[in-house]
Structure 1
Amino acid sequence: MIVVTTPTGHIGRQVLDHVLAAGRPVRVVVRDPAGLPAEVRDRVEVVPGSHGDPDVVARAFDGADAVFWLVPADRRAAGPVEAYREFSRPAVEALTGQRVVGITALGRGTPLAGHAGHVTGSLAMDDLIAGTGVPFRALAAATFMDNVLRQVRGIKERGMLFDAVSPDHVQPMVARRDIAAVAARLLLDDTWTGQEEVPLLGPENLSGNDVTAIMSDVLGFPVRYGQVPGAAFKEQLIGAGLSEAMAQSMLDMAIAKDKGLDDGVTRAPRHAIDTPTTFRRWCEDVLKPAVEAA
């Protein structure tokens, strides 16, 4: 039995699709079972509720062999450690030796990791899981290409992409679909043991200016990159509904990335094999249809 958390989320639903396609028995933890497509509900065992609830995870993990673990950050949390580590504590206490595949972030081992907002919280969560001694694969993902989708309307109407990171800073980027594929592969493989961090870098490093040049070419109209000053970036996030602490966490993460948080892993051929989607291909497959439909 494989347990999938966040089965209606951007990554979780793709993980679920892969696991179901392999014919394995699946149990999902979901706040609102109605959010699952009817054809999926008929093929899975549903445990309703939050995977931060002790009773829910105890039921979900009972008799399970593997767990896909992803924490959606609480926009109103008191801070990133509370959003990630403390949310995960009930699940960690419910583990009884299951293999765990979790989604986390790059940055471990760098001087910036302790002051990197959401990343710091994610790494604290990983330490909590690892402390149980269960077999664990922490999928340390680079910046998601898919984050661009948050700005589809601005891209279409103004030809602009905004972020707090410097326009010339080069960093790895990865597609969510590649992350889901790696997670599903590990969930379906019952031969691995021990604990390991698996960096998911995508096939190339790109700057903000590189990204908008590719977008311009694929979309057929010019898109420019605009760097948002830190204070304005934080205020925009608070205006969008984040708590002050979580807005600061997002800013801290952006600052750390700009200083090289994601540069600690040396790129190897394995990274392009595990996460093959280029940004251009992602733009052709995902961004262009989204912009045309906006």
Structure 2
Amino acid sequence: MTILVTGATGTVGRQVVEQLVKRGADVRALVRDPAKANVPAGVGIVQGDLLDVDALRAALSGVSTLFLLNAVVADEFTQALIALNLARDAGIERIVYLSVIHSDRYPNVPHFAGKFAVERMIEQLGLTATILRPAYFINNDVTIKDVVTSHGIYPMPIGSKGLAMIDARDVGEIAAIELLRREKSAAALPLERINLVGPETLTGPDVAAIWTDVLGRPIAFPGNDTAGFEHSLRQFMPGWMAYDMRLMGERFLTEGMLPDAGDVERLTTLLGRPLRSYRAFASEIAAAV
């Protein structure tokens, strides 16, 4: 009984692999470059990617459960459809797919719309899967820690509706728990969707206040300039991706990312501990400065 993890070396994927190994699972990782794959001892490695049909067929051979994670790339939707079709061809009836919260409510945001289309494929083909729908990753803010600590501003345009931010480590652990629940089930389990949220819903001013408290000096929230956000992102990512992120930011302002009733309690029970907070993340960053 083997679990295949795609995206195994990324922010969430490596957490999934580590949690599965910790729990004694037989894990196989699909990676682009085995020489750079820093995975725990005992993890099987298959070289390839989600557009390499032959490599993916080989990776899926003998696998009982699939964790499908697609990076935000221009052909993300194609990658997911190919992977799921090949998994179905291989007779895999246990799947956990990493989508995004409110994929159905952000219809103009490319990577949200793509994930929602994948969810529809899973549902319409009758695949037995758990669809995990995480909110904004707290860990995204690692990329702007220098702006916070050096310039005294929190620059992310997250608005005043609130985002139920979740730590990627919690996402990885929940994914591993769900993969093993499906793996160990005597029969394939029905389709299920689970929102992955953090312990509190935070606005831009809320996050700036946390940084102010943690760092012991004023941190300002300058507002919600999504055009400026796109311009900044274009310095280190393709234009299409920066625009995708801008569209997401605009939805943050109008929709937010709010949990459903009972989400926090459900996840707390699943983990057997409290969810990690933004304050804990900020404190870790501050301690390392």
TM-score between both structures, scaled by the size of structure 2? 0.88
C-alpha change, 1:289 and 1:103, in structure 2 (3 Å) is farther
1:204-255 CA distances to partner (integer Å, 9 max, x unpaired)?
A: 1111111111122122332222234232222222232323x32222111111
**Can you give the 5+ residue segments of structure 1 that lack an aligned partner in the other structure?**
78-82
Task: Show the counterpart of 1:80.
Answer: none
C-alpha separation in 1, matches of 2:269 and 2:280: 15
User: For residue 50 of structure 1, what is the amino acid of its counterpart?
Assistant: D
Task: Show the counterpart of 1:170.
Answer: 162
1:28-87 CA distances to partner (integer Å, 9 max, x unpaired)?
A: 1000112223x72x412211011232112111111111111111112xx2xxxxx33112
Q: Is the 8 A contact 1:57 1:90 kept in 2?
A: no
Aligned: 1:103 with 2:98: yes
C-alpha separation in 1, matches of 2:224 and 2:106: 22
1:84-138 CA distances to partner (integer Å, 9 max, x unpaired)?
A: 31121221121123311121111145xx331233211221222233343222111
C-alpha separation in 2, matches of 1:266 and 1:239: 39
Give the alignment of 1:110-121 within 5 angstroms.
112-121=105-114
Task: Show the counterpart of 2:245.
Answer: 250
SS of equivalent residue, structure 2 residue 234: helix
SS of equivalent residue, structure 1 residue 126: helix
C-alpha separation in 2, matches of 1:30 and 1:145: 25
Higher strand share: 1
Q: Report the alpha carbon displacement of residue 202 of structure 1 after superposing the two structures with TM.
A: 1.1
Task: Show the counterpart of 1:287.
Answer: 285
User: For residue 130 of structure 2, what is the amino acid of its counterpart?
Assistant: R
Q: Is the 8 A contact 2:154 2:207 kept in 1?
A: no
Which one is further off, 206-215 or 48-57?
Answer: 48-57
SS of equivalent residue, structure 2 residue 20: helix
User: For residue 34 of structure 2, what is the amino acid of its counterpart?
Assistant: P
C-alpha separation in 2, matches of 1:271 and 1:182: 8
Q: Report the alpha carbon displacement of residue 154 of structure 1 after superposing the two structures with TM.
A: 1.1
C-alpha separation in 2, matches of 1:169 and 1:180: 26
The structure, 1 or 2, with the larger RCO (C-alpha pairs under 8 Å, 6+ apart) is 1
Q: Is the 8 A contact 1:202 1:272 kept in 2?
A: no
Q: How many residues align?
A: 277
Task: Show the counterpart of 2:116.
Answer: 123
**Can you give the 5+ residue segments of structure 2 that lack an aligned partner in the other structure?**
none
C-alpha change, 1:283 and 1:229, in structure 2 (3 Å) is closer
Task: Show the counterpart of 1:199.
Answer: 195
C-alpha separation in 1, matches of 2:112 and 2:86: 24
Q: Is the 8 A contact 2:163 2:256 kept in 1?
A: no
Q: Is the 8 A contact 1:203 1:277 kept in 2?
A: yes
C-alpha separation in 2, matches of 1:277 and 1:240: 29
SS of equivalent residue, structure 1 residue 172: coil
C-alpha separation in 1, matches of 2:17 and 2:221: 35
Aligned: 1:214 with 2:210: yes
Aligned: 1:187 with 2:179: yes
Aligned: 1:262 with 2:257: yes
Which one is further off, 265-274 or 177-186?
Answer: 265-274
Which one is further off, 253-262 or 142-151?
Answer: 253-262
C-alpha separation in 1, matches of 2:72 and 2:256: 20
Aligned: 1:61 with 2:55: no
User: For residue 136 of structure 2, what is the amino acid of its counterpart?
Assistant: T
Task: Show the counterpart of 1:19.
Answer: 20
SS of equivalent residue, structure 1 residue 240: coil
User: For residue 68 of structure 2, what is the amino acid of its counterpart?
Assistant: W
State the superposition RMSD in angstroms: 2.0
Q: Report the alpha carbon displacement of residue 19 of structure 1 after superposing the two structures with TM.
A: 0.9
